[in-house]
Chain A
Amino acid sequence: MLAMTYDMKTHHFSRREFLKRSGLAGAALALPTIVPSTVFGANAPGNRITMGLIGMGLMMRSHHPIMLGRDEVQVLAVCDVDRSQRERAKAQTEKAYGAKQGIGAYKGCDAYNEYERVIERDDIDAVMVITPDHWHAMISLAAMKRGKDVYVQKPMTLTIREGRLMSDTAKQTGAILQVGSQQRSERAFRKACEIVRNGWIGKVHTIYTHLGEFPAPQTLPGEPVPDGLDYDRWLGPTPWYPYNRKRIEGNYGGGWRCFWDYGSRKNGDWGAHHFDIIQWALGMDDSGPVEFLPKGFKGAEYQSHVYADGTKVWKNHPVKDKQMIQFIGDKGEVLVSRGDQLETTPAGLKDRPLAPGDIHLYESRNHEGNWIECIRTRKQPICPAEIGHRTATVCHLNGIAERLNRPIKWDPAKEEIVGDAEASRWLDRPRRTPYVI
């Protein structure tokens, strides 16, 4: 598939460098039309970004077809601990490429149980890590160290220490890592953040956001492990429990997301979207709140966190007009939701264009597309590791305060919990052997 072996080994002229320059050259030169333009263009087989997809469950079902539909991408491998999932994904991939190329029996996608098999392949440029949260860091770190670019689902990590490690590794290896907090690539959320960042609603003091609630976790009885499922690998670094279908199922209403062992429940699920937008709007992408207060603390009806300037974010407080996030400033309000919904007070703010001197936020119109583009250009994507880490930190600290049922004070510069040694132990979780970072 890939004829850049020499380059990969010597790094004198890397495959990605070739991709970048060939893409630009393709844009600059007018080629003769005797041969199809794709033969020499950015999407020619040798120029495509080769990809491995890891975790073929519920969330990948939206990413997978998108990647198969992109002419500049070639999926070479799929990976899942469930044989039926990976075989289905392999068949889907080969069918799609067969149809695209007009050949009936395309063979060129491998299916693996172990992610290491994907990462060790030199002919793969990038991986998408769309697993449950507890696998994100381990796979992404291994991939970056092996020279791969990474798209990792949100929240980026299971623990805060994993996030620091991932961000530092991305910086040190130069990997292009995009976190799947895709609301950053939606116009309405960007505009809402620009309105807040430029001070058009004055000093923001209160923010409401609705995340919803998962059902309580359960203690589940053991069931026979289905044939073809590598259950030990599904658990990975998390504590051992007997297999039960409800524990591992992908389900937007719960499934594995209900369990603290595999994430931070709603804090990490929808929080990774809405807290992320709040961080962006407040200009806190390299910092974060300073205090986290659980529901019930001093009679509070809702969980909250507070930034150093006093701005308070309330989780699950009713939001006006059932929107997703409401920013309240001393001169106005912003309401924003998915589906390009944006309302402002004063009303004209939502249509007010930015002037040259205003803060212009990073503009991306397609989250996966932005990542692919950045793989070519080697520019930073819209949601790189440091941003993903800082957002995940907000998610996890909310989760820690909720579990400990006490306020947590946080120093975002030192990334330390202040004055609570036992709470500090939650900054990382010990991993089950032999799954180590």
Chain B
Amino acid sequence: MMKMPFLVFPVKRQSLVALVACLSFASAAFAGVEQTVNDLIPKLAAEKVEDRYAAQMELQGIALNAARPDAEVERAEVAKILAAKATDAAVPQPARVWMVRQLEYTGSGESVAALTALLAGEDAELKECARRALEKNPDPGATVSLRTALEKGGETPWRIGLIQSLGERGDAKSTAIIAPCLKSKETALTAASALGKIATDDAVTALWGAYVEGVPGAADGLVTAGNRHLLAGRKAAAKDLFERIYLTGAKASSNRATPAGKSPPASVQVRSAALIGRAAAEPKSARTFIISALEGGTPGLYSAAVTAATVAYGKPGASAMLAPMMVRLSPAAKSCVLRTLDRAAEKRIIDAASDPDPAVQSDAIERLGQVGTAASIPLLFQVATNGGVNSKAAAAALARVSGPGTDIAISRLAGEGDVRSRTVAIQALAQRNDPSASPALLKYAGESDPEVSRAACAALAKLGTDSQLDGLIQLVLAGKTPGAAAALQTVANRTADRSAAAQKIIAQTQSAEPRQLAPLLEVLALLGGNEALAAVSSFAGNIKPEVKDAAIRTLANWPDFSAHKALLVIVSDPNTQRTHSVLAIQAIARLVQSSEKEPAANRLEAAQGAMKAAGRDEEKKLLLSAFASVPDAKAAEAIKPFLNNPGLKNEAGLAAMALAESLPKGNRALARSLAQAVKEAGVSAEITQRADALLNKR
């Protein structure tokens, strides 16, 4: 964009001398702008259309920058230059169009004459651009030009544009010209819209006439007029208009007398708008209309009535007004009202939850979840435990009710009553995420009833902290609480001090019965760390078969590579059972493959140790895959011998190629030697093809 010195021109200088100097400077600067515009004109009309863009942006930059705040002199001068060029027939049309488009957002009084001239011109594109520019022009002269153009008439689309522009400008004097356009099918909608925006008495009268005759858009135009009244603060006019639309639009069969009995019924959308507008215009007297809409037989108006009440009285006021009406409303109206009732109307909502209509029940329960307090708990509790269609919703609401006494009330319910009730209350405590409930939950978890115990364990899994670890360990050791182990796992996994948690468990493992030991060892695996690993490893050599089995299975599921040494001890022991050996080898293969951050030497050592002990081809295949995951020459050496093993050569070939293909570029020689070995082994056509592909790579 061109840099212009006047952009920083100080327009409010007090000094006369400075002012004169500035004006002289400005005059020179504007001459510079005109020259820039002249220079841009050929580029704006460049033969190669793509080349016009840069010039367009430069001109746009000049115009928009000139129209910044506190630069009125500059804006007017630039607009004047653009207006003059836009009407100059010697300027190519694409350049003129672009200039008029700048005037759309920057032109004012200085541009009106030029735009008016274009409005009467022959060039359709320039004409249309000028109309839009005049529509946005703040000078009153623009309105006169548009009105005059409409008076002259023209093709229908042209007149539609002019009507739209005059409507946007709210030109009262155009009413007489626009009103007849309501009678034409082509222009009726636009005329109705424009007259609605103009919203004078005459415009409204014309719209009423059209409405009675069923002209499309007339009703919408009346609503627009009402909204304009509201926006302009003409509340009395808005009230009268909206009220008339609402009543007139009612069906003839309505029990309310209508002032214009012959009028066609308005759509429910128009009546809704009128009802809301009426309430906004005069809240004091809106009550009657709101009540009659809610008590009437038009469900489409119920929602509007509730919105009208909110608009008129605010949310608390609407709730206070509508709540007492609930009992006498239809189910559909009740549902609408329920959505707006607040905590002060809780009693009414509770009553609605016992409504014969299932939709009302459902809406009431949902609302209680949003605004309910301790007062709602008995009802929600009863619904949540009755096994009905709303039980789930009531349980969800129990998790949300808030305010003084709610937690205490639900805690009390968790400790007393029948099993089902207690279970629901315990579940609610969990959903409410109240950690203070944990001690009580631990107590319930140890109870003999399986449902209560299961629910309490599940709740502890959600809420339990380090404080409940000891208690949960004791429950696991007692062996009478099936859900305790899972809860212990989840709570332990959340702990910030894993070592301390592991120590607590390790301290209890020595006295644990073999059957209860397994879950504790699983938790140790989850916690990890050297102490936990040592403790579990020590049990792997236990003489009790159940203990040994639990420890080896735990080690086989150990989450990190640190278990590989203990696993190697197991696989190297000739007395290890076949099952345990297989589990340990599988675990080593898994850990080698997944421990990419471990040094390659350690991974290879583990895999080689396992391979030595592996008796079956199944495990050897797994270990070949493990070797393939270690990008190292020794892994290649470990795989190669198996290329000639009839039972394993296919897996060895696949492993060798996987390794060769994954080796970094620096190991190209190794990759090629592996591929060569695979090719020579003649494992299979497919694998040989892969080897060839690698060997043929440059």
Contact = CB atoms under 8 A, between A and B. Distances in A.
A338 to B, nearest CB: 27
A36 interface: no
A378 interface: yes
Given A171-B307, A433-B131, A434-B157, A147 B53 contact: no
A378 B101 contact: no
A147 B168 contact: no
6 contacts: A220-B50, A356-B400, A430-B131, A430-B135, A433-B157, A436-B161
B567 to A, nearest CB: 32
A156 to B, nearest CB: 19
A427 B150 CA distance: 26
B650 interface: no
Q: Which 7 A-B pairs have the closest CB atoms?
A: A433-B161, A172-B273, A430-B132, A422-B67, A221-B49, A173-B269, A356-B402
Nearest to B336: A378
A35 interface: no
A149 to B, nearest CB: 11
Contacts of B101: 239
B433 interface: yes
Interface of A: 10-14, 17, 20-21, 24-25, 27-28, 144-147, 168-169, 171-175, 216-222, 239-240, 353-357, 360, 378-379, 403-406, 419-422, 425-426, 430-434, 436-437
A25 B359 CA distance: 8
Main secondary structure of the interface of A (DSSP, over half): loop
Contact of B128 (A21, A240, A360): A240
Contacts of A168: 227
A169 B158 CA distance: 28
B389 A27 contact: yes
Interface residues of B, number: 76
Given A174-B272, A378-B336, A356 B406 contact: yes
Contacts of A360: 400
Contacts of B276: 171-172
A436 B332 contact: no
Nearest to B44: A219
Given A21-B332, A356-B399, 8 more contacts: A14-B268, A17-B300, A20-B332, A21-B359, A220-B50, A353-B462, A355-B432, A356-B406
Contacts of B277: 172
Contacts of B189: 436
B69 A419 contact: yes
A219 B223 contact: no
A379 B336 CA distance: 8
Interface of B: 48-53, 56, 61, 64-65, 67-69, 75, 101, 104-106, 125, 128-129, 131-133, 135-136, 138, 156-158, 160-165, 168, 189-190, 193, 220, 223, 227, 251, 267-269, 272-273, 276-277, 297-300, 303-304, 307, 331-332, 335-336, 339, 358-359, 362, 389, 399-402, 406, 432-434, 462
Contacts of B267: 11, 145-147
A436 B193 contact: yes
A406 B67 CA distance: 11
Contact of B358 (A11, A17, A28, A173): A28
B128 A432 contact: yes
B521 to A, nearest CB: 26
Contacts of B251: 10
B296 to A, nearest CB: 10
A379 B389 contact: no
A426 B362 contact: no
Contact of B433 (A11, A216, A355, A421): A355
B358 A12 contact: no
Nearest to B135: A430
Contacts of B156: 434
A422 B68 contact: yes
Contacts of B65: 405-406
A433 B362 contact: no
Nearest to B132: A430
